[in-house]
Amino acid sequence: MAQVPAGVLKKAVSRALQEDVGVGDVTTAAIVAAGQKGRATVITRGEIVLAGSAAFEEVFVQVGDVTVEFLFADGDIVPAGETVATLKGNLGAILTGERTALNFLMRLSGIATLTAQYVRAVEGTKCVIVDTRKTTPGLRALEKAAVEAGGGRNHRFGLFDGVLIKDNHIAAAGSVTTAVKRARAAAPHTLRIEVEVAKLHQLNEAIKAGADVVMLDNMSVEDARRAVAIAAGKVTVEASGGMTLETVKAYAAAGVDLISVGRLTHSAPAADLSLAVKKGGS
């Protein structure tokens, strides 16, 4: 599983801490003695697929004086009521970092948990669940890693590492053929050319024009099946558009290679996790 680059992780965490702690945690500074030690545990309230442990740990690296130990790894299924991680060290630091650390863990585990449900839904087919660019602004790298933790795969990261010709590009070029030709001529040869098609006749044109991948946009299951037959292995076939846990299986069964699901990242509910502090410590 690809890791979030260290610099990206550090900046995301430092930004979040700056946002929450700002000029200081006035409550903890006033009440908790500077040297006081403490222990805490992170506990699940429902079953989750874990993701975001690196961000959780990085929060306490930056807050300082707290040791975190995870009892599960990203991608693990953790039952309800389980201890996910333990913390030990400066009590004030634990309290100051708590909310920021949980905000990362809850959102990212929420994404992994939802992804795992989609992956399970297509089990038994060769179809792969992939994410989209519909991520939270500023957290894309972390959210895409969470999709991988949930068993999904990543689509292109952004506009720079994949050619995806959409209807608007086709309209601007005049035709699928012209659009593909222009992309071939100008984009680095290390990138495949993917073309979005809304109708089956466009699929033929895309294949003829030399597309490497086609994305079926909001097609019916029936049309998806026909598209797979037309593609006949010559191009990779991706289905996309409003995929729910109920509908996704049928598309997978239709034989598409990939299904991209926006809600993995734009609408996953947060995983339910809480942190309980215990007095005492080393």
Reduced to 3 states, what is the DSSP secondary structure of residue 164?
Answer: strand
Give whichever of 78 and 259 is closer to its own copies, judged by the CB atom: 259
108, 143, 147, 227 from 140: Cα distances, Å? 11, 5, 10, 31
Give whichever of 6 and 77 is closer to its own copies, judged by the CB atom: 6
User: In the complex, what is the shortest distance from the CB of residue 266 to its own copies, in angstroms, rounded to a whole number?
Assistant: 4
- How many residues comprise the chain? 282
Give whichever of 31 and 229 is closer to its own copies, judged by the CB atom: 31
87, 148, 159, 242 from 8: Cα distances, Å? 24, 17, 18, 30
Q: From 126, 204, 115, select the one nearest 151 (Cα to Cα).
A: 115
Cα 206 to Cα 208: distance, rounded to the nearest angstrom: 5
User: In the complex, what is the shortest distance from the CB of residue 171 to its own copies, in angstroms, rounded to a whole number?
Assistant: 6
Our answer to whether residue 99 is catalytic in this structure is: yes
Residues 6+ apart with CB under 8 A from 20: 99, 100
Q: Which of 156, 166, 225, 226 is catalytic?
A: 166
Our answer to whether residue 196 is catalytic in this structure is: yes
User: In the complex, what is the shortest distance from the CB of residue 79 to its own copies, in angstroms, rounded to a whole number?
Assistant: 20
User: In the complex, what is the shortest distance from the CB of residue 271 to its own copies, in angstroms, rounded to a whole number?
Assistant: 9
Give whichever of 108 and 254 is closer to its own copies, judged by the CB atom: 108
User: In the complex, what is the shortest distance from the CB of residue 253 to its own copies, in angstroms, rounded to a whole number?
Assistant: 20
Given a contact cutoff of 8 angstroms between Cβ atoms, the answer to whether 138 and 4 are in contact is no
Our answer to whether residue 123 is catalytic in this structure is: no
User: In the complex, what is the shortest distance from the CB of residue 166 to its own copies, in angstroms, rounded to a whole number?
Assistant: 8
Give whichever of 70 and 157 is closer to its own copies, judged by the CB atom: 157
**Beta strand residue intervals within 17-65, DSSP E:** 37-44, 48-49
Give whichever of 88 and 155 is closer to its own copies, judged by the CB atom: 155
Given a contact cutoff of 8 angstroms between Cβ atoms, the answer to whether 24 and 45 are in contact is no
Q: Which of 194, 196, 238, 257 is catalytic?
A: 196
Q: Which of 181, 217, 225, 272 is catalytic?
A: 217
| Structure-derived torsion over alpha carbons of residues 168, 170, 173, 174, reported in degrees to the nearest 10 | -110
**What strands, in cross-sheet order, belong to the sheet with 163-165?**
128-130, 258-260, 236-240, 213-217, 193-197, 163-165
Residue 7, classified by CB atoms within 10 Å of its CB into exposed (0-12), middle (13-18) or buried (19+), is exposed
Our answer to whether residue 249 is catalytic in this structure is: no
Active-site residue set: 99, 134, 166, 196, 217
